[in-house]
């Protein structure tokens, strides 16, 4: 996933990790206080405004790691 970020890679990756481990947080300031986000709170905004994502590569990563369907065809 890190390789899919073409600008502000470290900050975007930290932000993605913070979202995964603290999904209940409801604000950017709250996300910046999550232990896995090792930057100052303003870095959240900078990552979102300056960061760039290679969307095609990110889709491939998501598809590559998507969970497989159960035997009855149900996706979880």
pLDDT at residue number 36 = 74
More confident residue, 33 or 71: 33
What is the enclosing helix (H) or strand (E) of 61?
helix 55-64
Structure tokens at 38: 């090792």
pLDDT of 14 over the 70 cut: yes
State how far the Cα of 22 lies from the Cα of 63, in Å rounded to an integer. 23
Give the CB-side neighbour count of residue 18, counting CA atoms within 13 A. Answer: 25
- The pLDDT, as a whole number, for residue 75 is 61
| Entry pTM | 0.71
Mean pLDDT for the chain overall? 82
């Amino acid at each position: 996933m890190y390789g899919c970020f073409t600008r502000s890679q470290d900050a975007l990756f930290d932000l993605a990790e913070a979202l995964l481990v603290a999904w209940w947080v409801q604000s950017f300031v709250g996300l910046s206080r999550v232990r896995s986000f090792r930057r100052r709170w303003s870095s959240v905004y900078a990552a979102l405004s300056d960061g760039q994502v290679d969307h095609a590569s990110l889709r491939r990563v998501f598809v590559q790691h998507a969970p497989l369907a159960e035997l009855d065809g149900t996706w979880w």
